[in-house]
Amino acid sequence: MEIVGQLQKQFVDFSTSLYGEGFLDEQYLQLQKLQDESNPDFVCEVVSLFFDDSEKLLNNLATALQQQVVDFKQVDAHVHQFKGSSSSIGAQRVKNMCVAFRNFCEEKNLDGCLRCLQQLNHEYFLVKNKLETLFRLERQIVEAGGTVPVIVA
Amino acid sequence: MAKNGFFSRLRRVDDLSHEVHVLAVDDSLVDRKVIERLLKITSCKVTAVDSGRRALQFLGLDETEKNSVALDGLKVDLIITDYCMPGMTGYELLKKIKGSSTFREIPVVIMSSENVLTRIDRCLEEGAEDFIVKPVKLSDVKRLKRCMFGEGLGLNKRKLEEHCGVAIPSPTPSLDDDNVSSNRSPPSPCSPRSFSSLPSSPTSSTPLDSPTRRFEASSES
């Protein structure tokens, strides 16, 4: 019971910090509402899809920006997609980076775009890391016989 | 009973065994998974496709298909589609559906991450039932379902006027100085159009409530 309590506290503290630091926003809480006994892994499944999608997009972006003649419309299309998916799962900092990125696309500012891509990569891997930690904590709590605390806005 | 959409919707309200069947269209896999779950959790049957083209094929409307019979015999009660999609946009899909004598009665709801007034207006003018700003929340889907298939109180204002010959009072036109589209398509009794995260308050809410969500959201893009 001691272990479960500790893990639960860790989970709550960590979750709170993720929201507090803007890594996650209200939409992530929305996803939690969609998870229940009939769909116990829903959030993890959606987030996994997000990871796959994001890594493809980051590769596509890198390729698109390496072209001799950069097609900014294409770059923007990728960023738009990334903005959408990150928004749908509540990855706020990633989403905000996409917004900034789109501005540089509109200006056809290659340097700006390259810098954004770098930052986007950074933000993405940060949130990926955080979410994986979150999921790990959840698993540990369940394996120790406890229930995962529900975070409310 | 009449075969048109309005009356058949009412009929389904009484028929408890009938689940609302929604055709969801979105090119994003992440969004498709989310919308599918949102709809299922509100007790809808869902068919999710990744393009307008596939949506038309499902309905049996695809021009390139000689066979005009729908792939699936299930009747579609609602179509919810993303706006920005490669190939056929949600707007183009909307036009195709509203241009079809067989399917024009099916309500179409547009989803978009971009809270652009001209886009919203265009869709509503073309016959979209509602416009939801992404990311879609559970409250958005619940409201939609309640308004269209609920107790009948939340039925679309336009449809009510057409079929009942009743003029439902609209918000004061004089308040429409700023770019509020609600003068063209006033809020349904359920809740204002396209303002997905506002609570579903009665029409006593001023039009000024409407731009709030819009401006809040548009600062994102």
The alpha carbon of residue A48 is apart from the nearest alpha carbon of chain B, in Å, by 9
How many residues comprise chain A?
A: 153
Is there a cis peptide before residue B135, judged by omega within 30 degrees of 0? yes
How much is the average pLDDT of A138-143?
A: 96
Q: Which residue has the higher pLDDT, B86 or B181?
A: B86
User: How high is the ipTM of this complex?
Assistant: 0.94
Contacts of A58 (CB under 8 A, 6+ apart): A82, A117, A120, A121, A124
Q: What pLDDT sits at residue B90?
A: 97
Q: Which of B108-122, B130-144, B201-215 has the lowest mean pLDDT?
A: B201-215
Give the A:B interface size as CB pairs under 8 Å: 58
Q: Which two tokens stand for residue B170?
A: 């609209």
Compute the distance between CA of residue A30 and CA of residue B142 in angstroms, rounded to an integer. Answer: 13
Q: What pLDDT sits at residue B46?
A: 96
Residue B82: beta bridge partners?
Answer: B111
Q: Which two tokens stand for residue B171?
A: 């918000």
CB B42 within 8 A of CB B142: yes
Secondary structure in 3-state letters for B31-60: HHHHHHHHHHHCCEEEEEECCHHHHHHHHC
At A109-120, the pLDDT tens digits run: 999 999 999 999
Asked if B135 lies within 8 A of A45 by C-beta distance, the reply is no
Q: Which two tokens stand for residue B80?
A: 């919810």
DSSP structural state of residue B71 = S
Residues of B in contact with A27 (CB under 8 A): 135, 137
Out of B28, B113, B137, the one facing A30 most closely (by C-beta) is B137
Asked if B28 lies within 8 A of A53 by C-beta distance, the reply is yes
Angle B90-98/B52-59 helices, nearest 10 degrees? 20
CB B74 within 8 A of CB B6: no
Question: How many CB atoms within 10 Å of residue B4?
Answer: 13
Residues of B in contact with A91 (CB under 8 A): none
B162 has pLDDT over 70: no
At A59-92, the pLDDT tens digits run: 999 999 999 999 999 999 999 999 999 999 999 9
Q: Which of A82, A90, A46 is nearest to A64 (CA)?
A: A82
CB B111 within 8 A of CB B137: no
